[in-house]
Amino acid sequence: MNAYIFPGQGSQHPGMGLKMYEDHALAKELFRSADKILGYAISDIMFHGTEEELKQTKHTQLAMFLHGYIAYRCLNINTPDMVAGHSLGEYTALAAAGCLNFEDALRLVEIRANAMQKACELEPSGMAVVLKFDDKTIEEVCAAITEEVVVPANYNSQQQLVISGSLKGLEIAIERLKAAGAKRIMMLNVGGAFHSPLMQTAQDELAEAIYKCAFNMPVCPVYQNVNALPTTNPDTIRENLVKQLTSPVRWTQTVLNMVNDGAVRFTEFGPGPTLGNLVKRIVPDMATECLGSDEA
């Protein structure tokens, strides 16, 4: 079985999508349609913008959604057996599986990006990655910090867990993790505390839009971030999508569940093999490929 996976923020780069735009009539049509729906040329920012412009959450999320969805439509010839996306990539996965139509997914991503940007501005916050350290100890350290917000946010592989919270909370957590034996901890260059309680205002705003949106039966099971479990139930998908912004991304367990359910190859649609590399760390002998990564 072939698992199709879609990345979130992080692997964007200037020029992303331009080759597909030049080579595929469908890509050109979809990029132009996106520009019209949004009311501005996101394609121009993707093709000709600076790295700094693409780093802005309001642009990054739209760029990554469009790139992944258009790569799926233009470079793929098979129907997926199962899909999953990392954080923002879950929206791309839902569109690829037919659960959301293109316009609805694009508008939800726009609302999500803007709501998250506003939430980031409410309090100084961020994320840090802890490498090659025990998940249980990281969870215990975060849980013991009650005076500030700091939580596990992205379970990326057995040896990579991202924590998220207020800057003070992260400072305390990093100090305690180092005291507990963690050797490699790095702050990430992100705008705020994604997948933490500090995103509650963004979740509330996004929830209103999600509940107004039509969700269809997907063509295959969707493995969702909040519980790493497969579902084809539109109501369940909607509920889990609402919870996603303040819940951790359980990517390690998602990949393991997909493998246990029969996945023998992971195909990533994105500008780089970010998720494929994580899959290799989780399941070292797994076959992976990335479609859309030959444009850099």
- pLDDT tens, 250-260? 999 999 999 99
Residue 283 belongs to some domain of the structure: yes
Rounded mean pLDDT, 222-233: 98
Residue ranges making up the domain that contains 145: 125-187
The confidence score (pLDDT) of residue 70 equals: 98
The confidence score (pLDDT) of residue 194 equals: 96
Rounded mean pLDDT, 111-135: 95
Report the domain count for the chain: 2
- Whether the CB-CB separation of 94 and 237 falls below 8 Å is answered with yes
- Whether the CB-CB separation of 3 and 266 falls below 8 Å is answered with yes
E strand or H helix at 45: helix 42-48
Residue 295 pLDDT exceeds 80: no
Residue 220 pLDDT exceeds 90: yes
Residue 296 belongs to some domain of the structure: no
In the chain, the amino acid numbered 100 is L
292: left (phi over 0), alpha (psi -120 to 50) or beta: left
pTM here is 0.96
Note every long-range contact of 226-229, with CB atoms under 8 Å and residues 24 or more positions apart, other chains counting: 226/250, 228/253, 228/254, 228/256, 228/257, 229/257
The confidence score (pLDDT) of residue 283 equals: 98
pLDDT digits (tens, 9 = 90+) for 138-191: 999 999 999 999 999 999 999 999 999 999 999 999 999 999 999 999 999 888
- Whether the CB-CB separation of 37 and 106 falls below 8 Å is answered with yes
Closest residue by Cα to residue 108 from 122, 88, 129: 88
Say how far apart CA 226 and CA 83 lie, in whole Å.
14
Say how far apart CA 119 and CA 245 lie, in whole Å.
11
Rounded mean pLDDT, 98-119: 97
Residue 158 belongs to some domain of the structure: yes
Task: Judge if 96 and 224 occupy the same domain.
Answer: yes
CATH code at 52?
Answer: 3.40.366.10
Task: Judge if 82 and 202 occupy the same domain.
Answer: yes
Catalytic residue among 11, 87, 125, 164: 87
Mean pLDDT, the chain, as a whole number? 96
Task: Judge if 201 and 64 occupy the same domain.
Answer: yes
CATH code at 154?
Answer: 3.30.70.250
Q: Is 48 a catalytic residue?
A: no
The confidence score (pLDDT) of residue 190 equals: 84
Residue 192 belongs to some domain of the structure: no
Residue 87 pLDDT exceeds 70: yes
Catalytic residue among 11, 195, 196, 293: 195
Task: Judge if 142 and 267 occupy the same domain.
Answer: no
Residue 207 belongs to some domain of the structure: yes
Q: Is 195 a catalytic residue?
A: yes
Residue 296 pLDDT exceeds 60: no
